[in-house]
Chains A and B, each alone.
Chain A
Amino acid sequence: MTRSWRYLLPLTAVPVLALLAYGFRVNPRDIPSPLLGRPAAAFVLTAYDGTSMDLAALRGKVVVLNFWASWCYPACYEEAPVLERGWRAYRDRGVVVLGVDIQDKDEAGRKFIGDFGLTFANGPDPAGKVSVDYGVYGVPETFFIDRGGSIRVKHVSAVTDQVFRETVERLLAEPVPAR
Chain B
Amino acid sequence: MIPEVGTGALLVALILAVYGAAAAAVGGRRGRPALVESAQHAALGVFALLTAAVLLLVYAFLRFDFSVRYVATNTNLGTPFYYRITALWGALEGSIVLWAWMLSIYTLLVIVRHRTSARQLYPWVLTVMLSVVAFFLVVMTVPAPVFARLTPVPADGRGLNPLLEDSGMITHPVALYLGFTGFTVPFAFAVAALVTGRVGDFWITTTRRWTIVAWYFLSLGLLIGGWWSYHVLGWGGYWAWDPVENAAFMPWLTGTALLHSVMIQERRRMLRLWNIALVMLTFSLTLFGTFLTRSGVIASVHAFTQGSIGVFFLTFLSLVVLVALALIAWRWDALGAQGELDSVVSRESAFLLNNVLLVAATFTVFFGTVFPLLSEAVRGVKVSVGAPFFNQVNVPLFLSLIFLMGVGPLIAWRRASLENLRRNFLGPVVIGVAAAALFRLLGVGSILAVTTLALTVFVVATIGVDLVRATRARRRLGERALPALGHLLLRHNRRYGGFVIHLAILVVAVGVTGSQAWSVHTETTLKRGEATELAGYRIRFDGLRESQESNHGKVTGTFTVVGGHGAGAVLEPAKKFYPQEQSPIAYVDYRLGLVDDLYLVLGDFASDGSHATVKFQVNRMVSWIWIGGLVLTLGTVLAVLPERRKAA
Contact = CB atoms under 8 A, between A and B. Distances in A.
Interface of A: 1, 6-7, 9-10, 12-13, 16-17, 19-24, 26-29, 69-74, 77, 103-105, 107-108, 111-112, 115, 131, 136-138
B326 A73 contact: no
Contact of A19 (B76, B150, B377): B377
Given A12-B325, A28-B372, A108-B155, A6 B332 contact: yes
Contacts of B325: 9-10, 12-13
Contacts of A7: 326, 329
A105 B156 contact: yes
A21 B72 contact: no
Given A23-B373, A24-B297, A26-B376, A71 B69 contact: no
Interface stretch (B310-318, B499-507, B617-625): B310-318
Contacts of A28: 296-299, 372, 382
Interface string B536-555: 00000000000000000000
B443 interface: no
Nearest to B70: A73
Contact of A29 (B157, B299, B311, B321): B299
Interface in B124-161: 150, 152, 154-159
Contacts of B582: 103, 131, 136-138
A10 B317 contact: no
Contact of B329 (A6, A17, A103): A6
Nearest to A112: B154
A153 to B, nearest CB: 20
B580 A108 contact: no
B579 interface: yes
Interface of B: 69, 72-73, 76, 150, 152, 154-159, 291, 295-299, 310-311, 314, 317-318, 321-322, 325-326, 328-329, 332, 370, 372-374, 376-377, 382, 579-582
A151 to B, nearest CB: 19
Given A6-B332, A19-B370, A20-B297, A70 B291 contact: no
A63 B377 CA distance: 36
Contact of B321 (A13, A22, A26): A13
Given A7-B329, A103-B582, A74 B69 contact: yes
B156 A108 contact: yes
10 contacts: A6-B329, A9-B326, A10-B322, A16-B370, A21-B314, A24-B295, A24-B311, A70-B154, A103-B579, A105-B579
Contacts of B581: 103
Most buried by B among A7, A10, A136: A10
A46 to B, nearest CB: 20
A25 to B, nearest CB: 9
A128 to B, nearest CB: 8
A146 B297 CA distance: 33
Contacts of A73: 69, 72-73, 150, 154, 158
Given A9-B325, A138-B582, A24 B310 contact: yes
A22 B329 contact: no
A105 B150 CA distance: 19
A107 B154 CA distance: 11
Given A13-B325, A24-B310, 6 more contacts: A10-B325, A24-B295, A24-B297, A24-B314, A69-B580, A73-B72
Contacts of B373: 19-20, 22-23, 26
Given A24-B311, A26-B376, A111 B154 contact: yes
